[in-house]
């Protein structure tokens, strides 16, 4: 038997101790490397999970804030409407309270009308500088001027005196304008004649 010529390389070194084996501590380096990669993957996945949760929470807070802002704006509009109603009601109340002294005057003027007479227009306006003075403007549908005398007598019973009167009579309508001044109770007491005992 004949052996063919082959060239065989021998990689084994006959010398011993050329490359000593790694110490035990350095064998942990690859384990730590792969472990750190695994921990990095786990931590990054946790980071992205927390990031998504934070985005969802942020969106939820934004939606809640916008809902609260809309509710606040609606409350503001309701409050503005309510304040406007309160102001209107206060103005009406003030108007009613300020017209209370004029009510007896209007009632007496209405009661003084005869059967064939009627009030076409009645204007009572308080003077801004002196509320005790009232500007009277009345249009009476009547055939004679006696109706005006009767009305002025009723007004005089309420302690009002007429100043600067003007009257126009024509076509069955009497137009009368004057400034009514209320006499104080002291003046009224002085003008009354003393009563006999």
pLDDT digits (tens, 9 = 90+) for 19-77: 666 777 887 888 899 999 999 999 999 999 999 999 999 999 999 999 999 999 999 99
Residue 163: enclosing H or E segment and its boundaries?
A: strand 160-170
CATH number of 112-188: 3.30.1360
Residue 197 has pLDDT above 50, yes or no: no
CB atoms within 10 A of CB 151: 25
Residues 6+ apart with CB under 8 A from 106: 122, 124
The pTM score is: 0.47
- pLDDT of res. 18: 66
Looking at the DSSP assignment, which residues form a beta bridge with residue 134? 126, 180
Q: What is the residue extent of each domain of the chain?
A: 26-100, 112-188
CB atoms within 10 A of CB 180: 22
**Exposed, middle or buried by CB within 10 Å (0-12, 13-18, 19+), for 179?**
middle
- Higher-pLDDT residue of 55 and 95 is 55
Residue 38 is encoded by which pair of tokens? 């695994």
Residue 52 is encoded by which pair of tokens? 């998504």
Distance in angstroms (rounded) separating the CA atoms of residues 140 and 121: 7
Question: In which band, very low, low, confident or very high, does the pLDDT at 196 lie, cut at 50, 70 and 90?
Answer: very low
């Amino acid at each position: 038997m004949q052996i063919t010529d082959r060239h065989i390389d021998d990689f084994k070194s006959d010398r011993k101790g050329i490359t000593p084996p790694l110490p035990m501590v350095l064998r942990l380096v690859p384990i730590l490397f792969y472990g750190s990669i695994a921990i990095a993957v786990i931590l990054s996945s946790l980071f992205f999970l927390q990031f998504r949760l934070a985005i969802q929470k942020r969106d939820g807070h934004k939606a809640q804030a916008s809902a609260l802002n809309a509710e606040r704006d609606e409350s503001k509009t309701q409050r503005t409407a309510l304040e406007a109603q309160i102001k209107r009601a206060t103005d009406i109340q003030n108007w009613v309270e300020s017209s209370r002294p004029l009510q007896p005057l209007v009632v007496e003027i209405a009661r003084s009308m005869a059967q064939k007479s009627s009030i076409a227009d009645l204007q009572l306006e308080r003077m801004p500088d002196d509320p005790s003075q009232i500007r009277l403007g009345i249009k009476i549908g009547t055939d004679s001027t006696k109706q005006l005398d009767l009305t002025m007598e009723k007004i005089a019973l309420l302690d009002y005196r007429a100043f600067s009167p003007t009257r126009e009579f024509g076509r069955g309508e009497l137009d009368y304008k004057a400034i009514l001044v209320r006499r104080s109770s002291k003046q009224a007491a002085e003008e009354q004649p003393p009563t006999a005992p």
